[in-house]
Amino acid sequence: MNCIKIETTDLNLYYGNYHALKAVTMDIRADAVTALIGPSGCGKSTFLKTINRMNDLIQGVRITGRVCLDGEEIYAPGVDVTTLRRRVGMVFQQPNPFPMSIYDNIAYGPRVHGEKNKNRLDEIVERSLRRAAIWEETKDRLKKPAPGLSGGQQQRLCIARALAVEPEVLLLDEPTSALDPVSSLRIEELLLQLKKSYTIVIVTHNMQQAVRISDDTAFFLAGTVVEWGRTGQFFSRPRDRKTMDYIAGRYG
Amino acid sequence: MPRKIKDAVAYMVIYLAAFYSVLLLAGIIVYVFAKGFPVFDLPFFTTVSSVVKGTVGIAGNILNTVYIVVLTLLAAVPAGVGAAVWLNEYATPGRGVRLIEFATETLAGIPSIVFGLFGMMFFGTTLGFGYSILTGSLTLSLMILPLITRNTQEALRAVPDSYRNGAIGMGAGKWHMIRTILLPSAMPGIVTGILLAVGRIVGESAALLFTAGSGYLLPEAGSGFVSKIMESGGTLTIQMYLSLARAEYDTAFGIAAVLLCIVLAFNLLIKILTRNKFFAG
Amino acid sequence: MDIGIHGVRQTAHNTPQGRLGLSVTEKRSHTQRIETAAEAIFTLCACCMVFAVGSITLYMIANGIPAIYKLGAREILFSSVWKPTAADPSFGILYVILTSVAGTVLAIFLGVPVALLTAVFLTEAAPRPLAAVVRPAIELLAGIPSVVYGLLGMLVLNPLVYRLEQWVFRGSQTHQFTGGANLLSAVLVLAIMILPTVISVSETALRAVPEQLRASSMALGASRIQTIFQIILPAARPGIVTAVVLGVGRAVGEAMAVNLVSGGCVNVPLPFCSVRFLTTAIVSEMGYAEGLHRQALFTIGLVLFGFIMLVNILLHKILREEKG
């Protein structure tokens, strides 16, 4: 069965004076899909970003509490964030291919981490594109600019790009909200494939999506985790009144 | 007066004003070319003026201009781009940024004659470079620094944050991200800034008069090309000013025509560059 | 090992190094060093700006002060007799200062209206194809070197102004004819040279006026022209002020073109007098000046620098207000 990949304990996050995450304590299982749901501004994206320390980029952020990856505290002094982010990859809401060729997009991460061998890079590019189920569509145009792909293809490319550095965890921040329904479904299928070997955490606005693809679900409201657990139980027998209201569509 | 007539008069005045600018430009170009082109012949471009040989030529000045453009860019582009990168990517808003932005604004507002005075005293006297191409180039590099920085900053601002997040989220270091993503994306803007700067350098005179001097001879073959940097060298504009002062109007018009050709060419280049959307790779 | 019950934590871990055998606490010191070096270099570049402005200020002051110290502020700044090479030299630069002030003010009065109307043309009145001809023309005007303006001013404008001068002072016994090289010519050249700057900055300002203002004015039955002059221009005022201030900066600092068309005697700034500006005094005399004369020229440079800093600070204030 699955071990715990990430655990947070009493995690608080402040943007200046604004208390954005309040005492978040939860676990994320390895090789499973965890969905974070909740109304806009509830802190689910913020929580996601604490896992690979992307909040470091924002001015005036202060964090207390613990976030552990495989038992190692990631906010401890002496942590190398570049290594952390290599192990915990991220895919953003808007597909963001770099303005370079498809090949160079995928090879970007490995090159960042020091891979120079052409043959190995070729291998990584093909493997990553295959895993992200976009190899067939791109194998004949690897040298073409990536921004020329369609939105759905761009997002799968971004997933492939994230996979190219062999991460263990994949964070996805509403990866399908900018896409059409067909492209969204393809991404969902892809995630179900990927969870066999990756820990996946996905923020989504779409509850159906959470039901379809996730193993665990956590419900965020106003910076707190109201409830978290197995997706089946979460949706069929929620313990908290607020969760029930949200599932029934009584929140935004 | 009825409103309609008032409006019509106002329109007329507006059109006249616009027409005036165009007429002015057309007049300048036509007049300068009409007077300047007849001066053009091969010796004009390939020799230097000499009373003994009876030649009138600007070859030395063309070479000096190239020297000064290249040396100035070498000094100013790295510093200017670096400053823009710091302001846009590293700096946290506050006193430091405000100070540096104020300095950039101020530097952009200082007239070239003041740069000339400063260059003469600081690079010429204090550092002991005298009247030389090096003094002139260093002086001009201060002058074009804000131009480079501003254009780079604008270009960096236009790069979407998603690129930054994408690269950082993959574990790239900041400098790596800047080098591989930001600078290539900002390249057209940076190049535009450089082209504008070249235009300013080529047209500059007041800042060079007391810094680079007015030498017009070609360097001696061989090592002369290196030592030339420490020698006095007048650009095309300086030569044109001196020709005017000596009432050699034909030469002045010839140089003016050359300068206008350069200005036109660079404007065209910038137009082409800013029109094309740019994708690397 | 499982999350059996809601929200109840189990404790079980993989090995801390993960799949790649990389612990997050492992330092990649080489990369780290490059990153630190890069940041240091960029910071240094940014400091270059401050260093440049600082040392220019310092040098201008240090070199401009001695003459004031030796001659006294009254003698140099408020005396109008400039005879630097006479046996009993005199270094009064009052007329030089006044000439720069008068020349700039007049050039602004002549140039700004034309520039504003052109900006209005570009943003409000022009059909697209016409604007597409006028805008590049103005950009080109900005690129023309000032010596070229000087050349044309000298050989085209001066003769015309001379004719005007002959007509105005026909029969005059006392007027000293300038051959067209006088304040008027300089002002005309300056008025042209500030056009591109003022046009492009005010064009940006006009463009920034919200579309709703235009629409609601037109909807009230105002004509296009009324809308332009009563709504849009006032709304764009801060930007237009910026444009004018930038124009002042250009006019005060222009040296070469003015030097070629303005004559060169130190005189009261009257339209048909041969005059000397702050900038042209430096350009034409620095080449041969020595001793106290040279120091006096640096004082002129300092006065010029003072004017420019005034303009810069004003500009800075305006821009800050606009932002805030």
- Closest approach of C27 to chain A, Cα-based (Å): 6
- Chain B interface, mutation test: which of C45, C201, C245, C284, most B Cβ atoms within 10 Å? C45
Considering the domain architecture, whether residues B72 and B130 belong to the same structural domain is answered as yes
pLDDT tens column, C74-125 = 888 888 889 888 888 889 999 999 999 999 999 999 999 999 999 999 998 8
CATH assignment of the domain containing C171? 1.10.3720.10
A13 residue type, one letter: L
Cα(B33)–Cα(A22) distance, rounded to whole angstroms? 74
- Tell me the chain B residues in contact with residue C133 when contact means C-beta distances shorter than 8 Å: 22
At A54, is the pLDDT very low, low, confident or very high (cuts 50, 70, 90)? confident
**Mean pLDDT computed over C208-217:** 86
- Give the residue from chain B lying closest to C40, CA to CA: B86
**Mean pLDDT computed over B48-69:** 88
**Mean pLDDT computed over B167-190:** 90
Question: What is the structure's pLDDT at C4?
Answer: 41
- Tell me the chain A residues in contact with residue B181 when contact means C-beta distances shorter than 8 Å: 98-99
Residue ranges of the alpha helices (H) in C177-290? 183-193, 195-207, 211-219, 224-226, 233-235, 237-253, 256-261, 278-285
Using the Cβ of A57 and the Cβ atoms of chain B, whether some distance falls under 8 Å is answered with yes
Residue A125 falls within a domain, yes or no? Answer: no
CATH assignment of the domain containing B116? 1.10.3720.10
Cα(A45)–Cα(A62) distance, rounded to whole angstroms? 16
Residue A151 falls within a domain, yes or no? Answer: no
Question: What is the structure's pLDDT at C303?
Answer: 96
Question: What is the structure's pLDDT at C14?
Answer: 53
At B99, is the pLDDT very low, low, confident or very high (cuts 50, 70, 90)? very high
Which range marks the domain in which residue B244 is found?
Answer: 42-275
Q: What is the number of domains present in chain C?
A: 1
Q: Tell me whether residues C49 and B203 touch, CB distance under 8 A.
A: no
At A59, is the pLDDT very low, low, confident or very high (cuts 50, 70, 90)? confident
- Tell me the chain C residues in contact with residue A234 when contact means C-beta distances shorter than 8 Å: 6
Range name among B251-265, C3-17, C239-253 with the lowest pLDDT average:
C3-17
- Tell me the chain A residues in contact with residue C15 when contact means C-beta distances shorter than 8 Å: 70
pLDDT at B65 over 70: yes
At C3, is the pLDDT very low, low, confident or very high (cuts 50, 70, 90)? very low
At B279, is the pLDDT very low, low, confident or very high (cuts 50, 70, 90)? very low
- Closest approach of B92 to chain A, Cα-based (Å): 8
- Give the residue from chain A lying closest to C21, CA to CA: A87
Residue with tokens 């942590």: A79
- Give the residue from chain C lying closest to A5, CA to CA: C13
Considering the domain architecture, whether residues B77 and B29 belong to the same structural domain is answered as no
Sign of the C-alpha dihedral computed for residues B88, B91, B95 and B101 taken in this order: negative
Q: What is the number of domains present in chain A?
A: 1
Cα(C199)–Cα(C206) distance, rounded to whole angstroms? 10
When the pLDDT of each residue in chain C is averaged and rounded to a whole number, the result is: 88
Considering the domain architecture, whether residues B63 and B21 belong to the same structural domain is answered as no
pLDDT at B281 over 50: no
Q: Which of residues 162-221 of B touch C (CB under 8 A)?
A: 173-176, 178, 199, 202-206, 209-210
- Chain B interface, mutation test: which of C22, C43, C63, C148, most B Cβ atoms within 10 Å? C148
Range name among A237-251, B77-91, B163-177, C193-207 with the lowest pLDDT average:
A237-251
Using alpha carbons, list the distances in angstroms from residue A58 to A53, A62, C35, C111: 10, 10, 19, 47
pLDDT tens column, C31-68 = 788 889 999 999 999 998 999 999 999 999 999 999 99
pLDDT at C1 over 60: no
Question: Do C56 and B114 form a contact (C-beta atoms < 8 A)?
Answer: yes
Question: What is the structure's pLDDT at A252?
Answer: 52
pLDDT tens column, A184-207 = 898 899 999 888 889 999 999 888
Residue A77 falls within a domain, yes or no? Answer: yes
Question: What is the structure's pLDDT at B278?
Answer: 44
Residues of C with CB under 8 A from a CB of A: 1-3, 5-7, 9-20, 22-28, 31-32
Q: Specify which residues A63 forms β-bridges with.
A: A13
- Tell me the chain B residues in contact with residue C138 when contact means C-beta distances shorter than 8 Å: 21, 25
CATH assignment of the domain containing A221? 3.40.50.300
pLDDT tens column, C124-169 = 888 888 888 899 999 999 999 999 999 999 999 999 999 999 999 9
pLDDT tens column, A97-124 = 888 899 999 999 888 888 889 999 999 9
Considering the domain architecture, whether residues B22 and B119 belong to the same structural domain is answered as no
Cα(C43)–Cα(B161) distance, rounded to whole angstroms? 22
Which range marks the domain in which residue C178 is found?
Answer: 95-323
pLDDT at B280 over 50: no
Q: What is the ipTM of this complex?
A: 0.91
Considering the domain architecture, whether residues B34 and B88 belong to the same structural domain is answered as no
Q: Tell me whether residues C140 and B249 touch, CB distance under 8 A.
A: no
Nearest to B263 among C144, C223, C228 (CB): C144
Q: Tell me whether residues C150 and B244 touch, CB distance under 8 A.
A: yes
Residue C314 falls within a domain, yes or no? Answer: yes
Residue C180 falls within a domain, yes or no? Answer: yes
pLDDT at C21 over 70: no
- Closest approach of A171 to chain C, Cα-based (Å): 16
Residue ranges of the alpha helices (H) in chain B? 3-36, 42-46, 59-85, 95-109, 112-119, 133-157, 161-168, 174-177, 183-203, 206-209, 224-227, 236-245, 249-275
- Tell me the chain B residues in contact with residue C233 when contact means C-beta distances shorter than 8 Å: none
Residue C312 falls within a domain, yes or no? Answer: yes
Which range marks the domain in which residue A85 is found?
Answer: 4-99+169-247
Contacts 24+ apart (CB under 8 A), A27-30: A27/C3, A27/C9, A27/C10, A28/A4, A28/A169, A28/A199, A28/A201, A28/A216, A29/A2, A29/A3, A29/A4, A29/A5, A29/A199, A29/A215, A29/A216, A29/C2, A29/C3, A30/A2, A30/A3, A30/A4, A30/A5, A30/A168, A30/A199, A30/C14
